[in-house]
Amino acid sequence: MGRSLASQALPLALLVAALAAAPRSSAAQELPTLSGAWTASALTEQWSIAAWGEACGPRPRPQGAPGGAVQIKQQGSELSISGASRSWSTAECWEQMPGLARSKHSASGNARSWQTRCTTAANDPRQAVVTTTTQATDTRIQMVETGQYRFIIQDTTCSASVTRTRTYTLVRREGEAPPAASAPPVASAPAAEGKPAAEGKPAAEGKPAAPRACDAPGEPARLQVTPSRKLMRPGERFQFRALVLDADGCALPTRPAWSIAPGPLASAATVDATGALSLGADAGEGRLGLVASIAGKGVTVAIEVTSPDRYDALLARSGLNPAGESDQAAIAVIATGTIGGRTTTGEDVARQRKHLFVAIVGGVAACLGFAGLILLRRGRRRTEGELEGPVSTGDAPAAPDSAGVRAGPAPAGAPRADGIAGGAARDEAPARPASRVRGKICPTCGENYPGEAMFCGKDGTQLVPLN
């Protein structure tokens, strides 16, 4: 009887154990993958010096590493992380000290917890023990590394410890669609302390306009900076995007000038000419203003700087997307014609004006040269006329004879002085008409000139032929 009950109870116990283990196994299988796009916070370091003499050299100082976008790949039970200035794996320590090697490693079965221990060799004068612990949830990964260092240099003990931390936040899991846009705040982004949002028209927020490629874009009419708000942690670097459009939405090559607005955090941030903002690892919490401007008009992007510990809580109530960005763009309207959106057109107009000026000067010079040539020719003819003097023409009256009587033209058929009759002479040889040289006369002074003369030698008036 007892054996029968025992034999019946054993299968029942096994069935209960299997049912109890089944949910755990299915739960482990249903865990989402950690592969995808993540953002890494800045790596922070905190050193504690126990003993450090002069022979030890410079004292350790926090170095850290900037944050940024990273890609995480889940490979079995380990994670491979690339980006934010370095590649790293949960199967290794973050510390890369020479002589340091992995001595122990463990990983949980559900790929959510890892621990790696790295040490130096026993005969190495630089003794170091580093332990890297990584804990993960479905949307957050935190790495904490502690290190103990003990050196003996010239009979001087050098001892220090360090704690390094970094947090990774999920942006988009592998295989999932991009996250839906969160509802944008109604109010525009607050301006940085000590500086207005923009000179002239205040900045506004709106949906980023999609640029169009145009062969002949117009004058700049709109400046937009994306995103209009950003949540960042100390040590992170982020690339803001600026776009200048004309009234028709055509993209222009014009680029704005970037600057940090005055404020408590201005000294802890830098921005380059492309709009890449970098925060120092020691930057405190608060608001920071990033200004993009063109010809006195621009926008101020609001940046909230918070510690890694408060980042998730602030992100949850900020209305920003999982990457800590606003889906809206900061927009400013630019007055038409204020900046060089039409640089080529301006250069063409200047070139046309230059050519027109040269043509005018050349035309005036040609006219002056032609006028000088005419005056020179007139002067020469006037000199020639004065030298030749007035010449009598064939039509001038005959000089009077000794009796004072002017001889008129002989009548037809009258005998000539040599006794030969005119008619007989005409019969013997056909008389040739005397070639009459037509002279010229000045219509102003009435002076007569030979036919080849052109101008009056006295007053330069153009001569006219005599009738």
Of residues 144 and 194, more confidently modeled: 144
Lowest mean pLDDT among 33-47, 162-176, 373-387: 373-387
Query: What pLDDT is stored for residue 120 in this prediction?
Result: 94
Phi and psi at residue 319, to the nearest 5°? 80, 10
**Spatial distance between the Cα atoms of 15 and 31, rounded to a whole number of angstroms:** 25
Checking if the pLDDT of 89 tops 50, the result is: yes
Lowest mean pLDDT among 26-35, 273-282, 399-408: 399-408
- pLDDT tens for 59-69 read 888 887 888 88
Number of H helices, E strands in the chain: 4, 24
**Spatial distance between the Cα atoms of 361 and 375, rounded to a whole number of angstroms:** 21
- pLDDT tens for 226-245 read 898 999 999 999 999 888 88
Query: What pLDDT is stored for residue 359 in this prediction?
Result: 87
Binned at pLDDT 50, 70 and 90, residue 271 comes out as very high
Checking if the pLDDT of 399 tops 70, the result is: no
Checking if the pLDDT of 13 tops 60, the result is: no
Q: Where do we find the tokens 């030979």?
A: 450
Checking if the pLDDT of 352 tops 60, the result is: yes
Of residues 139 and 196, more confidently modeled: 139
Binned at pLDDT 50, 70 and 90, residue 10 comes out as low
**Spatial distance between the Cα atoms of 86 and 466, rounded to a whole number of angstroms:** 109
Of residues 350 and 273, more confidently modeled: 273
Pairing of strands 140-153, 156-173: antiparallel
Query: What pLDDT is stored for residue 145 in this prediction?
Result: 95
Q: Where do we find the tokens 């949307």?
A: 139
Element (H, E) at 36: strand 36-40
Burial label for 406, CB within 10 Å (0-12, 13-18, 19+), is: exposed
Supply the mean pLDDT for the chain.
76
Local structure of 95: helix, strand or coil: coil
pTM: 0.39
Query: What pLDDT is stored for residue 247 in this prediction?
Result: 82
**Spatial distance between the Cα atoms of 145 and 273, rounded to a whole number of angstroms:** 36
CA proximity to 72, closest of 60, 63, 81:
81
Of residues 305 and 390, more confidently modeled: 305
**Spatial distance between the Cα atoms of 54 and 155, rounded to a whole number of angstroms:** 11
Of residues 30 and 292, more confidently modeled: 292
Binned at pLDDT 50, 70 and 90, residue 155 comes out as confident
Full strand arrangement of the beta sheet holding 229-232: 229-232, 297-305, 286-294, 257-260
Query: What pLDDT is stored for residue 12 in this prediction?
Result: 57
CB atoms within 10 A of CB 361: 10
Distance from chain centroid for Cα 88:
35
Checking if the pLDDT of 213 tops 50, the result is: yes
Q: Where do we find the tokens 């970037």?
A: 258
State both tokens at 364. Answer: 């005036």
Checking if the pLDDT of 183 tops 50, the result is: no
Return contacts of 380-387, CB within 8 angstroms, 24+ apart.
Answer: 381/453, 381/454, 381/455, 382/455, 382/456, 382/457, 382/460, 384/453, 384/457, 385/449, 385/453, 385/455, 385/456, 385/457, 386/457
How is the chain split among helix, strand and coil, in percent rounded to 5?
20, 35, 45
Pairing of strands 329-333, 276-279: unpaired
Checking if the pLDDT of 132 tops 90, the result is: yes
**Spatial distance between the Cα atoms of 421 and 357, rounded to a whole number of angstroms:** 79
Checking if the pLDDT of 412 tops 70, the result is: no
Query: What pLDDT is stored for residue 9 in this prediction?
Result: 55
The single-letter code of the amino acid at 175 is G
Percentage of residues in the chain having pLDDT higher than 90? 23
Query: What pLDDT is stored for residue 463 in this prediction?
Result: 83
Binned at pLDDT 50, 70 and 90, residue 72 comes out as very high
